[in-house]
Amino acid sequence: MSRKPAFTSFSETTAEDWENIFSEQASMYTELPNRIIDHLKLLKGDFSGFPVDRLNHCLQTATLAQEADESEEHVVCALLHDIGDTLASLNHADLAATILQPFVSEENHWMVKHHGIFQGYHFFHHIGLDRNMRDQFRGSPN
């Protein structure tokens, strides 16, 4: 059972405080998958002008990756690539990549982080952006 800490500054902490903090955080980490799924469910019903809601888009993307025999890690990245839409609408790919970074390869992290620029090829020219923005990554190792 944890105790309420008495410190008001990190400089006042003790080894016992940090043992307690790490113990509390360990239980929080075990709940991370459930929190991610709960957050993914927030995309249900959010059409944002698209023909399918954001959750179904993510499920479709993951299904396509699975049907293409991509790795389990790649499928998870496909599933979670837009998880940042509700909190970081203008930089959702960065948020999704940050969430995934401790758990995925550098290559898959890079893919999630830059997916918006690559899909922009299909619509950037309609909104006054350069549809070839992806060309900046030509020759990238990822």
Stretch 125-139: mean pLDDT, rounded? 96
Instruction: State which residues form the domain around 75.
Output: 32-137
Residue 21 falls within a domain, yes or no? no
Note whether 99 and 83 are within 8 A (CB).
Answer: yes
In this predicted structure, what is the pLDDT of residue 2?
Answer: 61
Note whether 83 and 35 are within 8 A (CB).
Answer: no
Question: How many domains are there within the chain?
Answer: 1
Residue 23 falls within a domain, yes or no? no
Distance, CA of 138 to CA of 133 (rounded, Å): 10
Residue 52 falls within a domain, yes or no? yes
pLDDT tens per residue across span 10-23: 999 999 999 999 99
Residue 117 falls within a domain, yes or no? yes
Distance, CA of 130 to CA of 121 (rounded, Å): 8
Considering the entire predicted model, what is its pTM? Answer: 0.86
Residue 99 falls within a domain, yes or no? yes
pLDDT tens per residue across span 57-114: 999 999 999 999 999 999 999 999 999 999 999 999 999 999 999 999 999 999 999 9
Q: Give me the CATH number covering residue 41.
A: 1.10.3210.10
Residue 106 falls within a domain, yes or no? yes
Mapped onto helix, strand or coil, the DSSP state of residue 8 is coil
In this predicted structure, what is the pLDDT of residue 46?
Answer: 92
